[in-house]
Amino acid sequence: MQIIRDIAMLHRAVTALKQGGKSVALVPTMGSLHDGHLSLVRMAKRVADHAVVSIFVNPTQFGPNEDFEAYPRDEARDAALLVEEGASLLWAPDVATMYPGGHNTHIEVAELGADYCGAARPGHFDGVATVVAKLFNQVRPDVAIFGEKDWQQLAIIRRMARDLDFAIDILGAPIARDSDGLAMSSRNAYLSDAQRAAAPAFPAALNAAAQAIAGGADVTETLVRAEAAIVAGGFDSVDYVALADADSLERLRAFRAPARLLAAARIGKTRLIDNLAVG
Ligand code: PAF
């Protein structure tokens, strides 16, 4: 597997990978890879001839009081995992390569980015959309794969790719979960043993709510009950539990398919997100 940090070298390497009409799938990540990321790499290898993975902890998607500095980084370990998975190329630019001095262009997917995590993390999705557009232009993949755990992010990237005419298929990969139901996340590493033991209360509450709503229960009451169950399960606060149209992300007061239950909750200093299909 080639590890590349320079844009001109990347262009040459991707051109070589594409020779003979071969296709390339990009898996954008911030590193600290877990089985969820590796399932995206496996999917990339199923849908394309080459899997290219990017690792870039993107400063512009972290707020001033968020965990940019503390975000776990271990490129050597990540690279070894990617070699095992058969990735062809690791694109690992530094901040100066991604944002050279004077960088001043940003992408905002206004409507989809305003609610849910966008409300709790102002500017976060502008940072995500901008860096993903740059990664698309840098790597020029045929396909790009994102985890469904960040459902709002996936919806924003799909819209951005459509609105800006990126000729790239955007694929979502199912959420990878630990055996107790907790969605895999690099941020799970922040949890103490006690917090990790409590954390499955989050997906359990969402599962119960999704089943209740699909079974005809009142949406508002069910969401309030889910929030209470998450706090009773050991979480300190709930940012939101919402029923949304799966594509437009419009909040729904009554169930209609396709719908998604979206949620974010805080345990100690860690903010976890999760989501489920309803019905
Ligand atoms: O989901 C992530 O890891 C990041 O938001 C992404 C898509 C790699 C952009 O930095």
DSSP structure string for 157-185: HHHHHHHTT---EEEEEPPPB-TTSPBP-
Q: Ligand 1: which residue has its CA nearest to atom 2?
A: 29
Q: Which two tokens stand for residue 242?
A: 């919402």
Identify which of 26, 29, 37 to mutate to test ligand 1's pocket (most ligand atoms within 8 A of the CB).
29
Query: What mean pLDDT is reported for the chain?
Result: 97
Active-site residue identified among 37, 50, 103, 106:
37
Q: Is residue 154 a contact partner of residue 172, using CB atoms and an 8 Å limit?
A: yes
pLDDT single digits (tens) 161-171 = 999 999 999 99
What homologous superfamily is domain 186-278 in, according to CATH?
Answer: Pantoate-beta-alanine ligase, C-terminal domain (3.30.1300.10)
Residue 139, both tokens: 């790597």
Position 236 confidence tier, pLDDT thresholds 50, 70, 90: very high
Interval 96-100 mean pLDDT: 98
Each residue's pLDDT tens digit, 212-235: 999 999 999 999 999 999 999 999
- Residue 128 gets which letter from DSSP? H
For position 72, what pLDDT does the model report? 95
The C-alpha angle with vertex 252 and arms to 250 and 256, in degrees rounded to 5, equals 105
- Predicted confidence at residue 231, as pLDDT, reads 98
Question: How far is ligand 1, taken at its centre, from the CA of residue 132, in Å?
Answer: 8
User: Can you say how many angstroms the Cα of residue 242 is from the centroid of all Cα atoms in its chain?
Assistant: 18
Is-same-fold flag (2-173; 186-278)? Answer: no
Site to substitute for ligand 1 among 53, 58, 98, most atoms within 8 A of C-beta: 58
Fold of 2-173: Rossmann fold (3.40.50)
Non-local (6+) Cβ contacts of 6 within 8 A are: 93, 97
pLDDT bucket at 56, cuts 50 / 70 / 90: very high
Listed residue (175, 225, 235, 224) closest to 201, CA to CA = 235
Strands lying side by side in the sheet with 270-278: 237-245, 259-267, 270-278
Domain boundaries, the chain: 2-173, 186-278
Question: Residues 72, 39, 4, CA angle at the centre, nearest 5°?
Answer: 60
pLDDT on residue 92? 98
Percent of the chain with pLDDT over 70: 100
Give the pTM.
0.97
CA of 135 from ligand 1 middle (Å) equals 10
- 98 and 58 Cβ atoms separated by less than 8 Å: yes
User: Angle 219-232/201-214 helices, nearest 10 degrees?
Assistant: 160
Mean of pLDDT values over 41-68: 97
pLDDT band at residue 1 under the 50/70/90 scheme: very high
DSSP state of 149: T
Please compute the mean of the pLDDT values over residues 179-207 and round it to a whole number.
97
pLDDT at 266: 98
Closest residue CA from atom 3 of ligand 1? 29
Ligand 1 site residues (CB inside 6 A) read 28-30, 58, 61, 128, 131-132, 150, 153
Ligand 1 atom closest to the CA of 54, numbered from 1: 8
Tell me what pLDDT residue 219 has. Answer: 98
Known catalytic residue at 37:
yes
Q: What is the pLDDT of residue 264?
A: 98
Q: How many CB atoms lie within 10 A of CB 245?
A: 15
Per-residue pLDDT tens digits for 110-159: 999 999 999 999 999 999 999 999 999 999 999 999 999 999 999 999 99
For 247-263, how does the pLDDT look when each residue is reduced to its tens digit (9 = 90+)?
Answer: 999 999 999 999 999 99
The CA 214 to ligand 1 mean position distance, Å, reads 31
- Please tell me the residue having the least CA distance from ligand 1 atom 8: 29
- Would you state the pLDDT for residue 179? 98
Span from the CA of 248 to the centroid of ligand 1 (angstroms): 20
Q: What is the pLDDT of residue 94?
A: 98
The burial class, CB within 10 Å (0-12 / 13-18 / 19+), for 262 is: buried
Q: Which of 193, 184, 113 is nearest to 153 (CA)?
A: 113
